């Protein structure tokens, strides 16, 4: 449990300012992870629609609209 959330927020803000996003580095990381997934045979999936029923059911549960 965080005892001082304001201090944690200040730390997060300082970290974001100290390390701005680097598009080319992030792209390089993404490409490396993508190539590794392909090498391991984890990507692309054999059946892209596998588990779609579960995804739809979960989306319906999460996106419940209540009447006002």
pLDDT per residue over 7-52, tens digit each?
Answer: 999 999 999 999 889 999 999 999 999 999 999 998 888 888 999 9
Q: Which pLDDT value is given to residue 9?
A: 94
Residue 4 is given by DSSP the state: -
Q: Which pLDDT value is given to residue 57?
A: 95
Distances 51 to 41, 43, 54, 57, 58 between C-alpha atoms, Å: 18, 15, 5, 10, 11
Closest CA to 43 of 32, 34, 30: 34
Give the start-to-end residue ranges of the domains of the chain.
5-62
Residue 68: pLDDT band by 50, 70, 90 thresholds? Answer: low
Q: Which pLDDT value is given to residue 28?
A: 98
């Amino acid at each position: 449990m965080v005892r001082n959330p304001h201090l944690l927020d200040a730390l997060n803000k300082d970290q974001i300012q100290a390390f701005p996003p680097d598009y080319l580095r992030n792209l390089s990381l993404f490409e490396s992870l993508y190539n590794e997934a392909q090498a391991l045979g984890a990507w692309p999936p054999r059946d892209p629609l596998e588990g779609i029923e579960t995804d739809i059911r979960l989306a319906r549960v999460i996106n419940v609209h209540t009447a006002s």
